[in-house]
């Protein structure tokens, strides 16, 4: 009779991270748990051998993507969550890979976090109401990350930029209301590219979402996540390289102040005096008028008499 294989604590640790996220890439699991990729593959092989895990190859550079089966959810002690539909669609995998790197980032720094699958267990506590074409819909962040235990969590959204602009504005408006109500301390967008981050930042300004409670930055890669230090309550979650790439705090071009060089004042032009007005002509006397008429007749002769008009019957 064969002995039943029971995963050890290290394998359960890997399995729990996978189960919390749903679909995740193996490189993100290794970076988040500070494990060598060969060690991660051994743990994944054990989970797959007992029927707790399924995997599928993914694009070059991301390794395989994995998810827990229904038996894996129960075995890892995550019974309140729904198992992933197997096999997941391409859109689910793409989003899961992006969220996985956000989770690797906060897990590597030692922050406390919950995934959307965990938050869905208590929807009344964590959902955010957003307007939509059909009325209202419920939103959950991809991750809820506690920067400080004394404050509400920060909502982390992994954004690939596939939504319509009007729909995205309504979502950003809902997160703005959630911050004002105190349900979340802020919202951080981890975007698939710089163009997506710029787009999110532009729309956020239209709904008055800005300042320290809002960040839109390009998603970190494996090397950038591995270079992060352990988190502290008074340290910003974004490193210097990412702050420079973040498009949220950057002021628009028309708000920048340009300093002009100081020039010496020009010498004023000399003021020219205005010419005096000509004197008014003197009144003509009768003698002068008679003399003027006499000279006129000498030059031009006496004026011709005007012919009288003949009368007609």
Average pLDDT, the chain: 81
Look at the block and give the residue holding tokens 């003949």.
310
Where are the extended beta strands (E) located within 192-247?
A: 214-218
Find the range with the poorest average confidence among 32-41, 181-190, 257-266: 257-266
More confident residue, 128 or 283: 128
pLDDT at position 230, please?
A: 75
Q: How far apart are CA 186 and CA 178, in angstroms?
A: 8
pTM confidence score: 0.72
Q: How far apart are CA 200 and CA 58, in angstroms?
A: 27
pLDDT at 117 over 50: yes
Q: Give one DSSP letter per residue of 242-293, joined into a string.
A: HHHH--SSSPPGGGPPPPPPP-PPPPPPPPPPPPPPPPPPPPPPHHHHHHHH
pLDDT at position 239, please?
A: 38
Look at the block and give the residue holding tokens 């009144």.
283
More confident residue, 238 or 172: 172
DSSP letter assigned to residue 220: P
Domains detected in the chain: 7-88 (1.10.10.10), 89-253 (no CATH)
DSSP letter assigned to residue 301: -
pLDDT at 195 over 80: yes
Q: Which tokens belong to 113?
A: 């976090």
pLDDT digits (tens, 9 = 90+) for 132-171: 888 899 999 999 999 988 899 999 999 998 889 999 999 9
């Amino acid at each position: 009779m064969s002995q039943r294989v029971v995963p050890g604590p290290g394998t359960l640790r890997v399995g729990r991270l996978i189960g919390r996220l749903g679909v995740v890439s193996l490189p993100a699991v290794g970076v988040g748990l500070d494990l060598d990729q060969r060690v991660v593959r051994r743990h994944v092989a054990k989970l797959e051998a007992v029927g707790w895990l399924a995997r599928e190859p993914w694009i070059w550079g991301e390794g395989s993507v994995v998810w827990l089966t229904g038996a894996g959810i129960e075995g890892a002690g995550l019974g309140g969550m729904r198992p992933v539909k197997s096999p997941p669609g391409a859109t689910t995998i793409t989003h899961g890979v992006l969220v996985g790197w956000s989770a690797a980032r906060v897990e590597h720094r030692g922050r406390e976090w919950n995934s959307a699958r965990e938050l869905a267990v208590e929807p009344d506590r964590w959902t955010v109401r957003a307007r939509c074409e059909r009325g209202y819909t419920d939103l959950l962040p991809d991750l809820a990350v506690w920067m400080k235990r004394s404050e509400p969590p920060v909502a982390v959204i992994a954004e690939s930029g596939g939504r319509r602009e009007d729909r995205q504005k309504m979502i950003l408006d809902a997160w703005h209301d959630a911050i004002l109500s105190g349900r979340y301390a802020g919202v951080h967008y981890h975007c698939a590219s710089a163009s997506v981050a710029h787009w999110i930042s532009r729309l956020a300004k239209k709904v008055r979402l800005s300042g320290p409670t809002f960040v839109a930055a390009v998603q970190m890669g494996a090397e950038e996540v591995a270079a992060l230090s352990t988190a502290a309550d008074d340290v910003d979650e974004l490193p210097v390289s990412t702050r420079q790439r973040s498009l949220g705090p950057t002021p628009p071009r028309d708000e920048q102040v340009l300093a002009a060089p100081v020039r010496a004042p020009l010498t004023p032009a000399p003021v020219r005096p205005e010419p005096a007005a000509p004197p008014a002509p003197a009144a003509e006397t009768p003698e002068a008028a008679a003399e003027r008429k006499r000279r006129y007749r000498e030059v031009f002769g006496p004026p011709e008499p005007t012919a009288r008009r003949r009368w007609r019957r």
